[in-house]
């Protein structure tokens, strides 16, 4: 089974700070990581490969510096890695990004494409489904278990708010997976040694030949009108209270707001 | 897609077993409010059976018209078949905007359509305004959180129609507005509906905490009460409240992801939100600061949760919960 995995290098958002004056993101010195959902996607792919054979090929679109992330994935056991890197791609929204990724994927034949549910910097969850549409294959989002695979079909569990669905879909298809689907493995020393000098395939738009009008900020249907950091309004001052008094105050608010159950 | 301008705001009606998803009704109410002074209509788009009760509900919340496709192959949700028919509806009616509730289904379906019709889609938005700048008439400026809620971005789609967005459920109120009449428009589909996805089983969620977004009362736990989580759960249970949690506790694996409140969890707006041992990072407060009343208990006087609280108590959450439990259990005894 040949599997493609879509990955993204993201800033570690738990360490992100915003300049309150300008509302701009302070990116300086922020460490980058592989997007957590994507790491789970890689793990799922490696597990499927271990059981069913085939190859795992990771794709990312990003700056040249994303190459280090792909090398790290070699060390985890992926077979091939492609970086889609071109100035023309910079500033692309999800529509344009998906066009780039799908154009690169079309150079190969994959049975299964796996993407993480969403990236922690953008949280859009849109690139996976949009890539599937551009590839003309079905997609299922929010998959939290691969229940099985046979020669022709994939059996999946999709997680919704109030229920889970067991779905069956023929290959080829694209799925987006939740980070709970698999616990990523550690890097393997043998893989690290064997792959230290392995090349990452780097493709620019000369190779992909996408219409310039569909790329970057200009080619993106959505435009950012403005960005700003969130401000918080102060409502009251907090008070130090003895536990008994605190409990009474809480009960009073509960009563006032109708929060006490009828029985009480 | 490019057609001349387009008209009206379309809303995808997610429904199951005759029940309409609140997220869809919230969008109808919000769109009606935004467009009330314009010539634009709010059009509910429902794939499936439109009975009188459903029709009335959609009208009550503000729909001016309802487009319905009763083809049997779209009566149940299927991403590919719904995408095919909704694309056909877009091509037939040329809406100016098309909004989807930011549910699992909405966020699975909308990107597929936006790719197909070549238009802009904004994900998981929390604010919508009319944008009449730069020669746009009644276009939407749609604001969404990014970077875990640290940054907000306002997104427009100036050159493509329809402008699309998924909107986070629970952010807007659903209100009956008494639209006297909603016109029914039947859509007969000509597309071949051939989704290869088969549903083998539907498994209801065991622990039904999924309704946290609809909860009226939420008792929420953070890392400060990790060692007395059972007490928080007990208080929640006694009050018939839903249990909420900060990202920290979910990341630690002690509370289920579906209980998570905040940017990467659920947005909630209950009548009363009680935050126990939650410091109140933006990640969290962005998902609960619209609650009608907020009680916060934290031992750190500088905890940012107090900035959004109506009643802020500096103290040991465990001790306070002990007293609260005692009082609740006393009044609970017949």
At residue B193, the pLDDT reads: 95
B15, B80, B104, B214: best to mutate for the A interface, most A CBs within 10 A: B104
| DSSP run (H or E) holding A6 | strand A3-6
Q: Give the pair of three-digit tokens for residue B74.
A: 């779209």
| Radius of gyration (C-alpha) of chain B in whole angstroms | 22
Does position B108 have pLDDT exceeding 80, yes or no? Answer: yes
Residue A253 lies in a domain: no
A165:B201 CB<8 A: yes
Instruction: Give the pLDDT band (50/70/90) at residue B60.
Output: very high
Residues B27 and B134 in one domain: yes
Who among B146, B293, B312 is closest to A237 (CB)? B312
Reported ipTM:
0.86
Q: List the CATH number of the domain containing B214.
A: 3.40.50.1220
Whether cis (ω within 30° of 0) applies to the bond prior to A172 is: yes
At residue B207, the pLDDT reads: 55
At residue B215, the pLDDT reads: 83
Who among A165, A232, A247 is closest to B323 (CB)? A247
The number of angstroms, rounded, from the C-alpha of A27 to the middle of its chain's C-alpha atoms is 19
Give the C-alpha separation, B141 to B158, whole Å: 10
- Number of domains composing chain B: 2
Who among B122, B158, B295 is closest to A253 (CB)? B295
At residue A263, the pLDDT reads: 40
Residues B275 and B147 in one domain: no
Residue A260 lies in a domain: no
Q: Which residue has better confidence, B234 or B209?
A: B234
Closest chain A residue by Cα to residue B80: A138
Cβ atoms within 10 Å of B37's Cβ, excluding its own = 9
Contact residues on chain A for B80, CB-CB shorter than 8 A: 138
Distance from CA of B40 to the nearest CA of A (A): 22
At residue A264, the pLDDT reads: 45
At residue A234, the pLDDT reads: 45
B111, B164, B269: best to mutate for the A interface, most A CBs within 10 A: B111
Domain boundary among B127, B152, B186: B186
Q: List the CATH number of the domain containing B172.
A: 3.40.50.620
Residue A163 lies in a domain: yes
Does position B311 have pLDDT exceeding 60, yes or no? Answer: yes
B30-33 long-range contacts, CB within 8 A, separation 24+:
B30/B128, B30/B167, B30/B172, B31/B62, B31/B99, B31/B128, B32/B61, B32/B62, B32/B63, B32/B64, B32/B177, B32/B179, B33/B62
User: Quick one: CA torsion of A117, A119, A125, A131, rounded to 10 degrees?
Assistant: -90
B140, B147, B299, B315: best to mutate for the A interface, most A CBs within 10 A: B147
End-to-end CA distance of chain B: 66
Domain boundary among B135, B153, B186: B186
What does B141-155 look like in DSSP terms, one character per residue? EEEEEEGGGTEEEEE
Residue A243 lies in a domain: no
pLDDT digits (tens, 9 = 90+) for B170-195: 788 889 987 778 999 999 999 999 99
Residues in chain B: 334
Residues B91 and B180 in one domain: yes
Least trusted range by pLDDT, from A14-28, A44-58, A173-187, B142-156: A14-28
Closest chain B residue by Cα to residue A220: B120
Q: Which residue has better confidence, B68 or A29?
A: B68
Residue A54 lies in a domain: yes
Q: Is B38 exposed, middle or buried (0-12, 13-18, 19+ CB in 10 A)?
A: middle
* Proportion of chain B above pLDDT 90, given as a percent: 68
Distance from CA of B150 to the nearest CA of A (A): 6
Q: Give me the domain span that covers residue B238.
A: 210-332
Instruction: Give the pLDDT band (50/70/90) at residue B330.
Output: low
B76, B140, B313: best to mutate for the A interface, most A CBs within 10 A: B313
- Number of domains composing chain A: 1
Least trusted range by pLDDT, from A232-246, B51-65, B234-248, B305-319: A232-246
Residue A254 lies in a domain: no
At residue B155, the pLDDT reads: 94
Q: List the CATH number of the domain containing A136.
A: 3.40.50.620
* Proportion of chain B above pLDDT 70, given as a percent: 93
Does position A244 have pLDDT exceeding 50, yes or no? Answer: yes
Our CA angle for B59, B289, B284, nearest 5°, is 115
At residue A233, the pLDDT reads: 46
Residues B227 and B294 in one domain: yes
Q: Give me the domain span that covers residue A56.
A: 3-219
Contact residues on chain A for B332, CB-CB shorter than 8 A: 263-264
Residue A32 lies in a domain: yes
Domain boundary among B186, B201, B232: B186
Residues B135 and B284 in one domain: no
B131:A120 CB<8 A: no
Residues B170 and B281 in one domain: no
Instruction: Give the pLDDT band (50/70/90) at residue B334.
Output: very low
- Residue A196 has φ and ψ, to the nearest 5°, of -55, -35
Residues B178 and B232 in one domain: no
pLDDT digits (tens, 9 = 90+) for A187-217: 778 877 777 678 899 999 999 999 999 999 9
Looking from the CA of B319 toward its CB, the CA atoms found within 13 Å total 12
At residue A131, the pLDDT reads: 98
Give the C-alpha separation, B252 to B249, whole Å: 5
Q: Is B81 exposed, middle or buried (0-12, 13-18, 19+ CB in 10 A)?
A: buried
Instruction: Give the pLDDT band (50/70/90) at residue B296.
Output: very high
Residues B22 and B73 in one domain: yes
Work out how many CB contacts closer than 8 A connect A with B. 276
Closest chain A residue by Cα to residue B333: A264
Residues B129 and B33 in one domain: yes
Give the pairing of strands B19-20 and B151-156. unpaired
Who among A25, A122, A241 is closest to B313 (CB)? A241
Contact residues on chain A for B120, CB-CB shorter than 8 A: 93, 95, 220-223
Instruction: Give the pLDDT band (50/70/90) at residue A232.
Output: very low
Closest chain A residue by Cα to residue B109: A129
Q: What is the mean pLDDT of chain A?
A: 89
Give the pairing of strands A32-34 and A25-26. unpaired
pLDDT digits (tens, 9 = 90+) for B18-48: 899 999 999 999 999 999 888 899 999 999 9
Instruction: Give the pLDDT band (50/70/90) at residue A186.
Output: confident
For A240, B112, B218, the CA distances from B240, given in Å and listed in that order, are 28, 39, 9
Instruction: Give the pLDDT band (50/70/90) at residue B149.
Output: low
Least trusted range by pLDDT, from A110-119, A135-144, A216-225, B248-257: B248-257
Does position A111 have pLDDT exceeding 50, yes or no? Answer: yes
Does position A55 have pLDDT exceeding 80, yes or no? Answer: yes
Closest chain A residue by Cα to residue B159: A221
Residues B100 and B223 in one domain: no
Distance from CA of B180 to the nearest CA of A (A): 33
Q: Which residue has better confidence, A173 or A179?
A: A173
Distance from CA of A119 to the nearest CA of B (A): 9
pLDDT digits (tens, 9 = 90+) for A254-263: 877 766 654 4
């Amino acid at each position: 089974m040949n599997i493609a995995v879509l990955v993204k290098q993201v800033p570690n958002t738990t360490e992100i700070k915003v300049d309150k004056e300008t509302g701009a993101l302070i990116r300086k010195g922020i460490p980058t990581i592989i997007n957590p959902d994507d790491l789970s996607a890689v793990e799922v792919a490696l597990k499927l490969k271990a059981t069913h054979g085939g190859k795992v090929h990771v794709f990312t679109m990003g700056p040249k510096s994303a190459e280090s992330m792909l090398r790290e994935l070699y060390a985890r056991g992926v077979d091939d890695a492609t970086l889609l890197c071109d100035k023309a791609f910079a500033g692309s929204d999800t529509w344009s990004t998906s066009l780039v990724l799908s154009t690169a994927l079309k150079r190969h034949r994959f049975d299964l494409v796996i993407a993480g549910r969403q990236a922690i910097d953008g949280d859009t969850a849109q690139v996976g489904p949009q890539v599937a549409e551009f590839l003309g294959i079905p997609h299922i989002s929010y998959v939290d278990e691969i229940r099985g695979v046979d020669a022709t079909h994939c059996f999946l569990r999709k997680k919704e708010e109030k229920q889970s669905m067991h779905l069956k879909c023929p290959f080829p298809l694209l799925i987006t997976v939740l980070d709970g689907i698999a616990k990523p493995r550690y890097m393997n020393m043998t893989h690290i040694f064997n792959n230290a000098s392995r090349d990452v395939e780097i493709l620019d738009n000369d190779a992909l030949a996408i219409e310039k009008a569909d790329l970057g900020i200009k080619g993106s249907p959505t435009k950012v009108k403005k960005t700003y950091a969130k401000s918080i309004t102060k409502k009251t001052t907090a008070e130090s209270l003895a536990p008994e008094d605190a409990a009474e105050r809480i009960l009073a608010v509960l009563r006032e707001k109708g929060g006490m159950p009828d029985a009480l | 897609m490019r057609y001349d301008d387009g008209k009206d705001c379309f809303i995808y009606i997610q429904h199951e077993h005759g029940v309409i998803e609140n997220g869809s009704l919230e969008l109808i109410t919000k769109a009606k409010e935004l467009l009330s002074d314009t010539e634009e209509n709010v059009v509910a788009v429902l794939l499936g059976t439109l009975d009188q009760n459903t029709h009335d509900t959609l009208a009550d919340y503000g729909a001016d018209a309802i487009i319905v496709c009763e083809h049997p192959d779209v009566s149940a949700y299927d991403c590919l078949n719904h995408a095919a028919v909704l694309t056909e509806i877009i091509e037939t009616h040329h809406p100016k905007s098309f909004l989807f509730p930011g549910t699992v289904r909405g966020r699975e379906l909308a990107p597929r359509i936006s790719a197909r019709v070549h238009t802009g889609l904004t994900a998981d938005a929390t604010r919508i305004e009319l944008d009449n700048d730069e020669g746009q008439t009644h276009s939407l400026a749609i604001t969404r959180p990014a970077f875990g809620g640290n940054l907000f971005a306002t997104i427009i789609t100036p050159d493509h129609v329809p402008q699309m967005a998924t909107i986070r459920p629970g952010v807007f109120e659903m209100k009956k507005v008494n639209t006297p009449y909603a016109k029914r428009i039947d859509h007969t589909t000509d597309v071949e509906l051939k989704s290869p996805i088969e549903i083998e089983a539907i498994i209801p969620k065991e622990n039904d905490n999924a309704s946290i977004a609809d909860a009226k009362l939420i008792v929420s736990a953070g890392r400060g009460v990790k060692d007395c989580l059972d007490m928080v759960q007990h208080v929640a249970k006694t009050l018939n409240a839903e249990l909420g949690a900060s990202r920290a506790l979910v990341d630690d694996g002690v509370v289920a992801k579906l209980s998570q409140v905040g940017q990467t969890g659920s947005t909630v707006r209950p009548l009363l939100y009680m935050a126990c041992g939650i410091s109140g990072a933006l990640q969290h407060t962005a998902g609960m600061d619209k609650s009608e009343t907020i009680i916060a208990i934290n031992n750190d006087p500088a905890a940012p949760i107090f900035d959004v609280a109506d009643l802020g108590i500096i103290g040991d959450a465990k001790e306070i919960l002990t007293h609260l439990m005692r009082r609740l259990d006393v009044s609970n005894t017949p």
